[in-house]
Amino acid sequence: MKFMAAKPVILASGSPRRKELLGLLGFPFEIILSQVSENLAIGDMDRKQYVEALAKEKTMAVAQLHDSAIVIGSDTIVSLDGRIYPKPEDAEEAKRFLQELSNNTHTVTTGVGIYVNGEVVTFSVETKVTFRKLDMALIDAYVASGDPMDKAGAYGIQTAGALFVDKIEGDYHAVVGLPIAKLAAYLQGLGLISIGGPVH
């Protein structure tokens, strides 16, 4: 099954995971990194407002230079008890994150921005992930692999981080980094993609 896009599509992310998921829709797209800092001040925003604001910033940063395209940006955060767990700054922080997430249920919130014709539409998806109790030997070995360093919350559910997960409630692909089913529905609803032929 392949979709056709009404305009050129740009993914405003260097994430190989988002690239792979968007590739499931079958249309060609270009990757252009947004260069937007992920340290947006959260202020009075809730989790969904925060990730949607960040996704919008990433989307607009690329769209300003490519305004005739469909630009898709995304951001993912991990949170537990009101605290946000970004990408760890070093191995020690990664270990601390995983120790705190151990034996707890945290929330993964992924925001998506879609730019077309001068406007950005945003949405977000929340998924609950429960970790089993992790021992330090497992945490140390995982952090030593380098895998958690570019991932919110210091783990990747699609890599060895899957070994930590006891239960997931919600959209698995949103935890990976892009809620592809909901994104496809939005793109179809906006008339930006269609199955099997160009959009008229």
Question: Which uninterrupted H or E stretch holds 107?
Answer: strand 105-116
Burial class (CB in 10 A: 0-12, 13-18, 19+), 39: exposed
Residue 90 is among the residues annotated as catalytic for this protein: no
Query: How far from the centroid of its chain's Cα atoms is residue 58's Cα?
Result: 12
SS3 assignment, position 68? coil
Q: Spot the catalytic one: 75, 90, 147, 171.
A: 75
> Helix 136-144 crosses helix 91-101 at what angle (to 10 degrees)?
140
| Residues catalogued as catalytic | 75
